[in-house]
Structures are given as C-alpha cells and as structure tokens.
C-alpha cells in the first residue's frame, strides 16, 4: 500500500491581523541617545557630562520623552545598583581609563576628544542594552537614572511606582 506523495501544507487557522496593528507603530519603541559631551569645571576638578535622551512608548516608563544630564560615575552607580539588586548579568561599561588620569601625559588625558567620543559610544551601547531588559525595567534605579533630573543616592531601591 503506497501513499501518494503530497506536500504537507497544513496550517492551523489563525485570526487575520488587524490592519492598525500591522501598520501602526510597534509597541516596543525605545531609543536612548547619549550625546553632547560637555566638560565642566576647571583644572583638576573638571569632569565630562553627557545628555541622555530617551524616547519610548513602553508603558512602564512614566515619561515618553526625557532628557537628563549624566556623568560617567552616574553610569557606574547604575551598574552597581543593578548588579546588587537584580539577577541580571549587567553589560560592561567602557573602561575607567585610570591611566589617562595620571599626570605628565602628553595629551589631554580623559578630556581628549577621541577618548570622549569612544566613551560616549560605549555609554550609549550600555544604556540601550540595559534599558531594554525586562528585569531592569522593573528597578527604580533605572527609572531614576533615565528620567529624574538628578540621582538621589539615598533612594530606597525597589520597584518603580
């Protein structure tokens, strides 16, 4: 008894997709830019700050658009908070560049333009990777970092309100 060979093209029945769903904006829009580095202060008290601008339509974020000013140590703070409080493997930050902070260098050290640009790119990659993580989105520290004017280091860790 030989069976005719027919291509098996069975499919389960599916609901046709709603056109507004198909062509509307996706519900996963999240974009964060780290840009406009500015070096503030004088002499040995200088440091560089960056604009962190976020645009999103994820309901978990209170503001759909936000723009805050942050420096490298703020990113470090965020990484430490997440490593302590959540089970996420937090992506790496661009390096601390301690060597660049030693005196008697031939160049501008950590205020060298190419270094700042390298760091800016690394910080942008870092924040985009971490902000898209469903578990990180559940931590108060991420929301404070992205959307509060300044970081309150004495905050109470936990879930966002």
Partner 1 sequence: MSFFSFGQTAEIDVVLNDAETRKKVEHKTEDGKKDKYFLFYDGETVSGKVNVTLKSPGKRLEHQGIKVEFVGQIELYYDRGNHHEFVSLVKDLARPGELTQSQTFDFEFTHVEKPYEAYTGQNVKLRYFLRATISRRMNDISKETDIVVHTLSMYPELFSSIKMEVGIEDCLHIEFEYNKSKYHLKDVIVGKIYFLLVRIKIRHMEIGIIKRETTGTGPNIYHENDTIAKYEIMDGAPVRGESIPIRLFLAGYEMTPTMRDINKKFSVRYYLNLVLIDDEERRYFKQQEITLWRKGDVMRKSMSHQASIASQRFEGQESGEKPPPAQAKEESN
Q: Which residues sit at the interface with partner 1, rule CB under 8 A?
A: 1, 3, 8, 10-12, 14-15, 17-18, 21-22, 24, 26-28, 30, 58-60, 129, 132-134, 137
In this structure, are residues 160 and 131 in contact, taking their beta carbons and an 8 Å threshold?
no
Residue 158 CB, shortest distance to partner 1, in Å, is: 17
In this structure, are residues 145 and 78 in contact, taking their beta carbons and an 8 Å threshold?
yes
Residue 156 CB, shortest distance to partner 1, in Å, is: 22
Our CB check for partner 1 shows the closer of 69 and 133 to be: 133
Whole-angstrom distance, CA of residue 50 vs CA of residue 15: 47
Under DSSP, the state recorded for 60 is: T
Our CB check for partner 1 shows the closer of 59 and 103 to be: 59
Residue 113 CB, shortest distance to partner 1, in Å, is: 29
In this structure, are residues 64 and 57 in contact, taking their beta carbons and an 8 Å threshold?
yes
């Amino acid at each position: 008894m030989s069976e005719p060979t027919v291509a098996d093209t069975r499919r389960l029945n599916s609901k046709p997709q709603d056109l507004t769903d198909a062509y509307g904006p996706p519900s996963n829009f999240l974009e964060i830019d780290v840009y406009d580095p500015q070096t503030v202060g004088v002499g040995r008290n200088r440091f560089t700050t960056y604009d962190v601008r976020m645009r999103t339509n994820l309901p978990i974020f209170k503001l759909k658009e936000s723009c805050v000013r942050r420096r490298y140590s703020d990113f470090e703070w965020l990484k430490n908070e997440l490593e302590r409080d959540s089970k996420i493997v937090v992506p790496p930050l661009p390096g601390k560049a301690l060597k660049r902070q030693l005196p008697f260098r031939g160049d501008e050290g950590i205020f060298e333009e190419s270094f700042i640009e390298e760091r800016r790119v690394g910080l942008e990659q870092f924040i985009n990777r971490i902000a898209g993580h469903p578990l990180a989105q559940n931590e108060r520290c991420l929301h404070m970092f992205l959307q509060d004017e300044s970081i309150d280091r004495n905050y109470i860790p936990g879930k966002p309100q």
